[in-house]
Amino acid sequence: MSAVVASLIVLATVAVMEFVAWSSHKYVMHGFGWAWHRDHHEPHDNLLEKNDLFALVGAGMSISMFALGSPLVLGESAWAPATWIGLGILVYGVIYTLIHDGLVHQRYFRWVPKRGYAKRLVQAHKLHHATIGKEGGVSFGFVVARDPAVLKRELREQRQAGIAVLREAVED
């Protein structure tokens, strides 16, 4: 497999992982996986959260793909693209860790962006945390951040419809 094809597979996987992360965040973490995700939405002083177990799920996906692509594991049955898919999942995990855990929740470093895309990411995720409980909510992605003004409007509409309970008033 050429380096160009391998690189394209890695980049495509990183892009697809944002959709995988968005849908698993919305339907798993805020659904049947709420028992693991709940502490992420509640104040605490713990170094680790149950929510961090989802990182192990992502790591398992990446490791599984590396194994499927490895001739050392599967011999001639190995599927070469799986290695590059595994690398793409790993790259997305690193991006997620730096952006979500590092920048947004400041678990690893302290920097509050004043403008640009980084500020938009932080605003969008703070709006995600504006709801109490698992119902309703906005901005379930981790790398793609929609316009905060649109997200605020959606939160107000959810509150008015009785779908979401907000921690505080969402200002214009």
Domain ranges of the chain: 1-111, 117-172
Average pLDDT, integer, range 147-160: 95
Nearest to 132 by CA among 161, 168, 170: 168
Cβ atoms of 165 and 156 within 8 Å: the answer is no
* Three-state DSSP state, 4: helix
**Does the pLDDT value for residue 172 go beyond 60?**
no
pLDDT band at 170 (very low <50, low <70, confident <90, very high): low
**Does the pLDDT value for residue 167 go beyond 90?**
no
74-132: per-residue pLDDT in tens?
Answer: 888 899 999 999 999 999 999 999 999 999 999 998 999 999 999 999 999 999 999 99
Cβ atoms of 61 and 88 within 8 Å: the answer is no
**DSSP secondary structure letter of residue 170:** -
Provide, for the chain, the percentages of residues in helix, strand and coil under a 3-state DSSP scheme, each rounded to the nearest 5: 65, 0, 30
Confidence (pLDDT) at 166:
87
pLDDT band at 1 (very low <50, low <70, confident <90, very high): confident
Confidence (pLDDT) at 5:
97
Joined together, the tokens standing for residue 164 give 């979401």
Please count the other Cβ atoms lying within 10 Å of the Cβ belonging to residue 126: 14
* Three-state DSSP state, 154: helix
31-77: per-residue pLDDT in tens?
Answer: 999 999 999 999 888 999 999 999 999 999 999 999 999 998 888 88
Cβ atoms of 137 and 30 within 8 Å: the answer is yes
Angle at 126 between CA 121 and CA 40, to 5 degrees: 110
**Does the pLDDT value for residue 153 go beyond 90?**
yes
| Least confident among 63-67, 147-151, 168-172 | 168-172
> How far is it, in rounded angstroms, from Cα 65 to Cα 85?
7
**Taking every pair of C-alpha atoms in the chain, what is the biggest distance, in angstroms?**
59
Average pLDDT, integer, range 148-166: 93
